A = this chain, B = another copy of it.
């Protein structure tokens, strides 16, 4: 076969739904020579990583660790370990990731009870209560905290009591929220929560941090059937990450180096400061987009700081705009998924990507590109509105 050139990818500004930009210290960690997955030094690093993950999840849960796969592997791990054939699961479906949960529940042999909301909207406690009332014996209520396909932000503070009264566990997808906005696992009574590394943690994709509390572990301990996945069997993974250190699979050493460094950066910044930064940049972006005449797609009052979806104006060519952003400005933004394909853009401001410079550059670039497609708006309106929002906040 022909030879393949040396790796030289373009220097992108990653403002899509993930991966986000990665800090040089995390990249340096990725390049660190490896130790073995049972090396005492690696086992020590694993303990530190678990401790740092407990900090970002705001939990004391002993079982808190990264799964050796991307965010969706985290989703599958939680469901495949909790569910046995016939188990009822209420799944909130208001975007792609709720739909994915339904698919996985079925593959686990479970019975999804689909609770729907329009894409871009969220669920009220009353809706969840009503869905539970339709179940015979619900085992899990699964909600997406930050719906990456719409930018909707599901409130979670008042959900756990309702779920627990029905005898079910609360399972939360925090892939696009963890380390970008508050995720308080213990305070909010979340039983099971998972995330991914390539969003607000600003680590390359490849690991899925998750955490389970005692109630969730009890459910797993009482299983009557084997977990349908060997690779994602938490009881075995826990024995490797726990004191037993029993070999299961070969942990992705370099990815774990990177995650630990990304978590150190989160700790150094502090969660509150980090959340404020995400909020501020989101508000400026939202103000700028609105001033450009582009309506935000998610329900007002429930818009994520980490991912903003915005409607594509009539007559504007979705693919061409994104290609121009990529080719002329090296900026990646995300396309719409499913029914929103061609209708929205998804702009991520996550982790290292959430900066004032990125907000202003994107608004300028977008205005210029829309202009070439005949779209009219007051010159400089986006950037001016963003500046005003920064001055206000």
Interface residues in chain A, defined as those with a beta carbon under 8 Å from any beta carbon in chain B: 1, 3-4, 6-7, 9-12, 14, 16, 18-19, 21-22, 27-42, 45, 48, 51-52, 54-55, 68-73, 76, 80, 100, 103-104, 106-108, 196, 198, 204-206, 226-232, 247-255, 257-258, 260-261, 263-264, 267-268, 326, 332, 335, 337
Contact = CB atoms under 8 A, between A and B. Distances in A.
Contact of A7 (B12, B16, B206, B260): B260
Nearest to A254: B204
7 contacts: A9-B35, A9-B41, A21-B33, A28-B31, A69-B231, A76-B231, A255-B255
Contact of A70 (B33, B68, B260, B332): B68
Contact of A206 (B6, B32, B68): B68
Contact of A9 (B28, B32, B252): B32
Given A9-B42, A12-B35, A51-B1, A252 B204 contact: yes
Contacts of A45: 7, 9
Nearest to A40: B326
Contacts of A108: 228
A230 B76 contact: yes
Contacts of A257: 7, 9
Contact of A35 (B29, B37, B267, B332): B332
B103 A230 contact: yes
The CB with the most chain B CB atoms within 10 A, among A3, A205, A232, A253, is that of: A205
B12 A36 contact: yes
Nearest to A101: B230
Contacts of A9: 32-35, 39, 41-42, 45, 257
B7 A249 contact: no
A184 to B, nearest CB: 16
A136 to B, nearest CB: 23
